[in-house]
């Protein structure tokens, strides 16, 4: 059993109050995960330890049931005598034993993984004790385990092999290419063992992807913003656009408007079933701030001879 010095205050680790909402917890976790992710702090053992604590804190506090136990029992929240699982003997009310059951039959049925129904008197007389034999023959279904895993954009795009700490066990987890924020990955037989049968349930990992400064998700597709000059918007141009697997050349059509999105087919995100989604490039016209002498002269000449008035339709607007 952990001592007081082993106790980790998950709220302090995430920098939130005990009344924090799930949304506040999620924001705090994402912010700190970006800061301490091992890929962004290579060789920094302190950052690696903090990242591990962040994942542990997020795993507990993002699960309403685990958070309730943690708030109620503190450092003992994950100890067998403090869990919701019924103990075969003693049924201590102080540690959550019998008081969740209507009667002893309900307690035994739950222990053995049977549906909660009362056995008839005849059934009890002929077969009720056979379930015990030389001891409990537990039919209880092993519980599934939920955990969160944070990935960089590169790891999520290409796939990655990662080590995940689950309680006292280190698991080697393979994340396939194409994971997105909120993706759930099932690892069969890698969950926590049943307290009765020791059979292991499944582990479900919810993916958190550290936001990228350039690309962002829109459904299965990626979106990015690309600045262009006024002359490129007016005359058209060939520009370079970064994609997840390298730069490509894209044609900006003549007379394009700022804010228009152009599609690069098959240059977006890796799809789990194969292939790639699309990359949408949103054009943002940027005006120059420091003009050379010749640029100044050219813009003045254009302005003096311009025939296009973009505000002409506004002249008809009246109350």
Distance, in Å, from the CA atom of 271 to the CA atom of 41, rounded to the nearest integer, reads 29
Confidence (pLDDT) at 87: 39
Domain of 274, in residue numbers? 216-290
Distance, in Å, from the CA atom of 211 to the CA atom of 208, rounded to the nearest integer, reads 9
Query: Does 316 have pLDDT greater than 60?
Result: yes
Confidence (pLDDT) at 125: 33
In a domain, 280, yes or no: yes
Q: In sequence order, which residues have a C-beta less than 8 Å from that of residue 10 and are 6 or more positions away? A: 56, 57, 60, 61, 70
Our CA angle for 283, 154, 165, nearest 5°, is 140
- Of 150, 143, 282, 277, give the one whose Cα is nearest residue 219: 277
Band of residue 171 on the pLDDT scale cut at 50, 70, 90: confident
Distance, in Å, from the CA atom of 30 to the CA atom of 182, rounded to the nearest integer, reads 13
Contact 241, 226 (CB under 8 A): yes
**CATH number, domain at 236?**
2.60.260.20
Confidence (pLDDT) at 297: 94
In a domain, 116, yes or no: no
In a domain, 120, yes or no: no
Contact 269, 276 (CB under 8 A): yes
How many independent structural domains does the chain possess?
Answer: 1
Distance, in Å, from the CA atom of 153 to the CA atom of 72, rounded to the nearest integer, reads 37
Query: Residues 54-78: pLDDT tens digits?
Result: 888 888 888 888 888 888 777 667 7
Band of residue 39 on the pLDDT scale cut at 50, 70, 90: confident
Please tell me the pTM assigned to this model.
0.54
Torsions phi, psi of 175, nearest 5?
Answer: -95, 120
Count of other CB atoms within 10 angstroms of residue 156: 25
Contact 197, 254 (CB under 8 A): no
Band of residue 230 on the pLDDT scale cut at 50, 70, 90: very high
In a domain, 110, yes or no: no
Contact 200, 193 (CB under 8 A): yes
In a domain, 277, yes or no: yes
Confidence (pLDDT) at 70: 83
Report residue 78 as tokens. Answer: 């994950």
- Of 214, 209, 155, 215, give the one whose Cα is nearest residue 182: 209
In a domain, 192, yes or no: no
In a domain, 67, yes or no: no
In a domain, 208, yes or no: no
Average pLDDT, whole number, for the chain? 79
pLDDT, average across residues 188-206: 82
Q: Which residue has the higher pLDDT, 123 or 248?
A: 248
pLDDT, average across residues 252-268: 96
């Amino acid at each position: 059993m952990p001592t007081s010095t082993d106790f980790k205050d998950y709220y302090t680790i995430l920098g939130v109050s005990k009344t924090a909402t799930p949304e506040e917890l999620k924001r705090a976790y994402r912010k700190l995960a970006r800061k301490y992710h091992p890929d962004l702090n290579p060789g920094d053992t302190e950052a690696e330890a903090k990242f591990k604590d962040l994942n542990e804190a997020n795993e507990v506090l993002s699960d309403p049931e685990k958070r309730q136990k943690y708030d109620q029992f503190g450092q003992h929240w994950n100890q067998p005598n403090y869990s919701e699982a019924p103990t075969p003997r003693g049924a201590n009310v102080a540690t959550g034993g019998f008081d969740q059951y209507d009667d002893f039959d309900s307690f035994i049925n739950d222990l053995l993984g049977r549906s909660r129904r009362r056995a008839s008197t005849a059934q009890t007389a002929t077969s009720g004790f056979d379930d015990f034999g030389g001891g409990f023959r537990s039919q209880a279904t092993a519980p599934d385990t939920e955990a969160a895993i944070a990935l960089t954009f590169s790891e999520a795009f290409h796939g990655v092999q990662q080590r995940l700490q689950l309680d006292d066990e280190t698991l080697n987890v393979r994340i396939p290419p194409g994971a997105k924020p909120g993706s759930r990955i099932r690892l069969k037989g890698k969950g926590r063992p049943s307290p009765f049968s020791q059979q292991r349930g499944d582990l479900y990992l919810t993916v958190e992807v550290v936001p990228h400064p350039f690309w962002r998700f829109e459904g299965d597709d990626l979106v990015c913003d690309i600045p262009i000059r006024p002359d490129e918007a007016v005359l058209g141009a060939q520009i370079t656009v970064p994609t997840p697997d390298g730069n490509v050349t894209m044609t900006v059509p003549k007379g394009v408007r700022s804010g228009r999105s152009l599609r690069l087919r098959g240059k977006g995100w890796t799809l789990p079933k194969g292939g790639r989604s699309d990359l949408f490039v949103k054009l943002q016209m940027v005006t120059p701030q420091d003009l050379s002498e010749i640029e100044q002269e050219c813009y003045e000449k254009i302005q003096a001879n311009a025939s296009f008035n973009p505000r002409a339709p506004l002249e008809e607007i009246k109350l």
